[in-house]
A and B are shown apart, each in its own frame.
Chain A
Amino acid sequence: MRWVAAWRERLRALIFRARQETELDEELRFHLDQETELLLEAGLDPQEARRQARLRFGGVERFKEEVREARGTGVIDCLMLDTRYAARRLTRDWRFTLPAVLILALGIGANTAMFSVVNRALFQPLPFADADRLVNIYQNVGESSQPWASSYPAYQDMAGYTDLFSGVAASMMPTQVRYLAGPLVRTGSAEYATSNYLEVQGVDLPMGRWFTAEEDRPGAAAVAVLGHQAWTSKFGAAPSVLGQTMRINGVPVTIIGVGPEAYNSNFHSGWVTDFWLPISSVTTVGGRADVLQRRDEDAFLVRARLRGGVSLPQAQAAMTALGAHLAKEYPDDDPGRGISVLRSDEVLVHPQFDTILGAGASILMIVVALILAIACTNLATWLLVRGLSRAKEMSVRLALGATRAQLARHLLVESTVLAGWVVRWVTSWRNGRFDWWRSWTCRWTQAVASTTGCSASRWHCRY
């Protein structure tokens, strides 16, 4: 493979540069010595022989330069030089650099934040084992009977269908709690869930354990599973959190586990749960006395795992029957409500939001792209103003023999360095709640930034 050899040689050249230079010197010196000797033998006096040898050889420095070029490190050398120079220059002109970075950070930051939500909701698969056997069950709502959420008694009815489901888990929509972390009172998000929540979804905990059925009984001592992100960002990923007692809403709660890294909340979206608590503690910790009894409290999301051999239509038929039964039994609370069964991997966030989510996401992406374009033009103008003040510098460079391509490359590198700084800044600044999607989001940001760098300098070069 020719290009492999070429790149290996190029890499070698970069790493062993100093050695290669001395080797080249030695090689050329050897050549000149040999040639001189040949001429001495032909009868020339030493001085003349030396001169003739050099004459026959041609310009030593010129050929050295050609050899270096042939090594193929020239491009890399120039880029490194340009980058270093650009960094120095931008640091010195901080009065120029600071606004430029701000302009770009706004554009890129908006873009990144938006992308991270869209990415999460639309492109990332569910982290569950055998996700195709998982279903979401919703009680319907409204005149057109749209899937919405379930009450806890309805969940208990659903959980009775053990012939259809190998497990049915419920979790309450995330609610806000206050908790004491060291001397600070913080607000966080809590999700009350059943003890089989983890098992049904097929997710593993990185540390500790989930609560048992015994711990999910009224009157049991309160325990909690700490969300992975809260664990890393608020508690420094310290293993010692296990067994610690923490006050959540004033109630002492013992931390028994750390939540999965890839799964942050029953709302598969930007929402991140800080604590998972047993569903029965919603009365003590959550302070909502009758939420588990009322049939008109649609606060629960139900997820079930189909038994082997049970199809989705079968489950749907059974749930429709249950819905009809509930409507007859509790005409006041469950008036004419149906029940919908949907495959979990076909629900992005919630069936009510999904339809508008796709369209909304594209519109939002377009809007942030426009913001970025505006930021780009602003930056280009800013660069242009600076370019005018640098006209003298540019003419000196041209006069000294720089080609236009070299000048353009220099400006390009400068803009890219600028954009690169913004990326570092933006990504370090927003590693709070969203760093869950770090990898893809970061790649996206980098792509955006390099495009921005290039297009801004394209404008820049035009002046």
Chain B
Amino acid sequence: MTLTAEKKEKAPFSNRLKRNFIKHRSLYLIALPIALFYLLFKYVPMFGIVISFQDYRPGKGFWGSDFAGLKHFIDFLTNPTASRTIRNTLVINLYQLIFGFPAPIILALLLNELKLPLFKKTVQTISYMPHFISLVVICGMIKDFSSTYGVFNDVITFLGFERDNLLGNVDLYRGIYVGSGIWKGIGWGSILYLATLSGADPNLYEAAVIDGAGRWKQMVHITLPTIIPIAILQLIMRIGSMMSEGAEKTILLYSPLVYEKADLISSFVYRRGLQEMNFSYGAAVGLFNSVINLTLLVAANRLARKATGESMW
């Protein structure tokens, strides 16, 4: 048998598939229900997007409903009540990125500097708890604390201001929304960064001290670079889901008083599309949302790759 320089020719794919199927029939059998699940519950709804371009009526079904072209999209973009949801979604997400994204990182950095293991463990355990409390309960607490005679107002009065129904105050709503989000997620979010930090090489730190680096220099040159790759990945994932999140919390917290600044695209779809049964309109807005999401994700990924070499794919 001589070694040749030719590449071994592979049999045509369909043949290989058939052989694979016969040899590993049971695998295909197991894969079947999984594939069916995805097909039915994930891919079939994608075809439902078609109603965005129709005037869908449940009675008439997909084939019978009238064609509507881009009517719903234009409606959405030109109606101020509708299009302000875009602004709100972007603004609230921006706040969340600026304040909410660094918060777990900072917590992890602070915890990492602690030298008292028991205290550290206690703080960590306490900080994780809000993550496990249900959103309904948390929003219930927010509502209670923000009410005119609730705890928040007690503090406000103490500081010399007037009592107010905080959740009904259009200018305060976003602060409460973002702030409570940070409260809920800061502990759980810090786990990832803390775990990454604990894998840092202690020799690096020792070498740095020998070279005369103070705490601050150590943090900037050793600690931060350890975290940055994973932080970027997290950021990309966050950006990629930005636009479609927030429906549940918004629905629980908002009221007509604050729609102006509180209504997100996702809560708008729920209220106008589902509750008011404008199915086509809701589907159109939802599609718009999904496309923006995907675009943001791809853009964020590309940007991250260009800037730092880290990316999701």
Bound together:
no
